[in-house]
Structure 1
Amino acid sequence: MRRRLLTAGAITLAGAMALAACGSGSSGGGTGDAGKTFIISTDQPLQGASGDSSKAVNQAIQLYLDQIGSKAGSYNVKLKIYDDSTAAKGQWDDATCAKNAQDHVANADEIAVMGTLNSGCAKIIAPVLNQDPNGPMLMVSHANTNPGLTKTWDPGEPQKYFPTGTRNYARVITTDDYQGAAAAIYAKEKLGTKTVYILNDNQTYGQGVAKAFETKAKELGITVAGNEPWDAKQPTYTALFNKIKASKPDLIYIGGIYDNNGGQLIKDKVAVLGDNETVKVIAPDGFTGYPELDKLPQGQGMYLSFAGLSNEQLRAAGGAAAKLLDDYKAKYGADPATSFALYGVAAVQVILAALEKSDGTRKSVTDQVFTGAGITIPAATSAIGKEIKIDPATGDTTAIDISILVIKDNTESFVAAQPVS
């Protein structure tokens, strides 16, 4: 993975420098003249199981931009949507993420990127944007939770994502070291878990959240009978669960994304180990926001963690978040398919605040987030109903919210806010 990242970054940097040498003259947004129009892009998987979720995020962002007149101070803004998935793969794709990174840098009027959904894709795009000769170019994610993007986690992280030595990546949602730990605490304290078997999808996000869950579970005295990957290409997992059955777990923890054949995995878990009352299941937010899963008979009773506040919580709290949800429902006939939708708007709010304070260059926009006091969105106007404060030293949000949900009656319902302690 690391070699792919560096190769993609080198190609993009060379291409961008060639564009600059040819006299494009743009600083990724022009001269800062009042009334200039800038592009804010979103970069998400629009095909496969995540398509509904990504569509809802884009719709919520466009609705919000319409409501504020598509303005950031004296600047005009418009939305450009990128797809980082392929039909063949049915989810995010390494090569497509690398190509999108090049396109973001090459699009002279594009000022910042909102995304990505998947942490693995972000790890491909972020270092490319970091090497933009007119930047670094700002990237703010609504959904990336892998800790290594901003803090020490796996070897070389996070420094390898910022080859220039200047940070350009931020996020408005907390990280999997908290999400995985919170799920383990809930499993111990509320579900009475004694033995757990962990599965991960062998991707960046899934491995990271499974690692965090395992570490905390062991600390709490839960027996971890195993932690192994499942192969997304397998047509059945009955052999896997028959092997797991011998360890007599009372909980299965699934670290990964639903796109990786999660539906079949859940079906076979129930077929071999019993329903979700007999042997409980917890999955992270990579399994949230999928109508197909919510309606799956074998999915009923599954617990889910979400590294933020659910739509149900946001509406109940009132304020700007509840109004945006109501406006979304009035326009589209239903709530967003995912709680990431309002976090997408929150990420755009950070970008807009940085753009408004900037001189209209990519470098200046990024500087607003990572120098001085950074960016703060007040609770009164925040899309998630509470203050959004980005730590300029790391790019992380200072808010740590973990929600526990359960699938019941074909709906993801809020159960509890889980402290991480």
Structure 2
Amino acid sequence: MKSNKIKQSIVAACVATLGLAGASAYAKDVRFGFAAPLTGPQSHYGEDMQNGLTLALEEANKKGIEIDGGKATFVLVSKDDQADPRVAVQVAQQLVDEDVNGILGHFNSGTTIPASRVYNDAALPQIAMATSPEYTLQKYDTTFRMMTSDTQQGSAVGKFIVEKLGARKVALIDDRTAYGQGLADEVEKAVKAAGGQIVRREYTTDKANDFTSILTNIRAAAPDAIFFGGLDAQSGPMKRQIVTLGIKAPLVSGEMTRSDTFIKLAGDAADGTYASLAGVPLAQMAAGKDFEAAYQARFKKAPGVYAPYAYDGAWNMITAIQNAKSADPAKYLPELAKLSRKGATSEHIAYDARGDLKEISVTIYQVKGGKWEMVETMVSQAN
């Protein structure tokens, strides 16, 4: 982490000015719980998400939003869940005990799903980055997403592999996490539905860095493409080993591979890799350019993949609270469920009955000359 401020356990997004003429005589803190990996190999994901949330809360505080009879000060209560499901449950209970007004997190599906049960028991609305289908299939009325789900993304990726890459024989690898396995499962369904064949399925972990054995097994199956469900910390060295073993099949992966970290880890071998990303490129987002400029000004660097979705997630919760004129979860939850607003990532942000986003958007990228370049974007509405 480059800034100690970002890693503080409580991040005050901004303190609203008191005592202005015509303003309320007091300020009311609205505390949002946030949890993600803020240390370890996935901390760059957590930092990116936290920055997007912080930017939204700072903007909200500058607007002087009034709720519950007073001017609100939106505060982010941050916890490091270490991308560990057991730690995530402990952190979730801590946030509940600290009487936060809502939850913006977690990041990983594997931490979000067990933590969501704690929040649901406490009747706390939760908007998470997690993309695993299981998150909203629990049928809790408290669960909402920041991004397109893996069911939607996997369907688009599997179809792309068969129809656009012309791959009839596909090998799958996943890291056994809720995210990696769930995405690979959806890709497998879509490949078969498009007329492709799964010739090999292998498994690894989110801590591994030597994939020679499973890649040797895959090479023997002579696939036309290899799909990996997992993190950039694994896909980077995996791509180097694919090249070393002389495997010509392209590597295709999900949004956690679509990062600068992957390119750094894969080195010269990165070129030719495909990765899907829920949503559209930042430059094509409804207010992507404005968001990027604001992010650059605030954090002195370009936003990552997850920052704009976190930003919209925060504004979704803030807007629901504003519409309800209350930060009481019981009062603003119905407003969140029927939300309809224009955001940075989309002009049509709304939720279905499960808490999934109604708009489905997936973009395929490819590494060319050491940089990610857009290949194709698919946008549709959920049925």
Which stretch shows the higher mean deviation, 341-350 or 356-365?
356-365
Mapped contact 1:310–1:339 kept (Cα < 8 A): no
C-alpha distance in 1 between matches for 2:378 and 2:284: 13
Map 1:170-209 → 2, pairs under 5 A: 170-209=144-183
Map 1:317-356 → 2, pairs under 5 A: 320-336=287-303, 338-356=304-322
What amino acid maps onto 1:213 in structure 2?
V
What secondary structure, in the 3-state scheme, does the structure 2 residue paired with 1:53 have? Answer: helix
Aligned to 1:117: 107
C-alpha distance in 1 between matches for 2:45 and 2:178: 20
Structure 1 residue 400, shift from structure 2 partner: 0.3
Structure 1 residue 213, shift from structure 2 partner: 0.7
What amino acid maps onto 2:135 in structure 1?
L
What amino acid maps onto 1:60 in structure 2?
G
Aligned to 1:127: 117
Structure 1 residue 232, shift from structure 2 partner: 4.1
Mapped contact 2:177–2:206 kept (Cα < 8 A): no
Map 1:257-268 → 2, pairs under 5 A: 257-259=231-233, 261-268=234-241
Match of 1:383 among 334, 344, 349: 344
Mapped contact 1:172–1:390 kept (Cα < 8 A): no
C-alpha distance in 2 between matches for 1:119 and 1:147: 9
Q: Structure 1 residues 265 and 355 mapped into 2: Cα distance closer, same or farther (>3 Å)? A: same
Aligned to 2:244: 271
Aligned to 1:140: 127
Q: Structure 1 residues 241 and 420 mapped into 2: Cα distance closer, same or farther (>3 Å)? A: farther
What amino acid maps onto 1:45 in structure 2?
P
Identity %: 22
Question: Normalising by the residue count of structure 2, what TM-score does the alignment of the two structures yield?
Answer: 0.85
C-alpha distance in 2 between matches for 1:272 and 1:312: 37
Structure 1 residue 293, shift from structure 2 partner: 1.0
C-alpha distance in 1 between matches for 2:354 and 2:209: 41
What amino acid maps onto 2:320 in structure 1?
A
**Long gaps (5+) in structure 1:** 1-32, 86-91, 152-157
Aligned to 2:331: 364
What amino acid maps onto 1:123 in structure 2?
I
Aligned to 2:96: 105
1:96 equivalent to 2:57? Answer no
Mapped contact 2:206–2:231 kept (Cα < 8 A): no
C-alpha distance in 2 between matches for 1:245 and 1:400: 34
TM-align CA RMSD:
2.1
Structure 1 residue 233, shift from structure 2 partner: 4.4
Write the deviation string for residues 177-197 of structure 1: whole angstroms up to 9, x where unpaired.
Answer: 111111111112221112110
What secondary structure, in the 3-state scheme, does the structure 2 residue paired with 1:146 have? Answer: coil
Structure 1 residue 214, shift from structure 2 partner: 0.6
Match of 2:251 among 281, 288, 294: 281
Question: Normalising by the residue count of structure 1, what TM-score does the alignment of the two structures yield?
Answer: 0.78
What secondary structure, in the 3-state scheme, does the structure 2 residue paired with 1:279 have? Answer: coil
Write the deviation string for residues 188-239 of structure 1: whole angstroms up to 9, x where unpaired.
Answer: 2221112110001111111111111111111111121022211444452212
Q: Structure 1 residues 419 and 385 mapped into 2: Cα distance closer, same or farther (>3 Å)? A: closer
Higher relative contact order (CA 8 A, sep 6+): 1
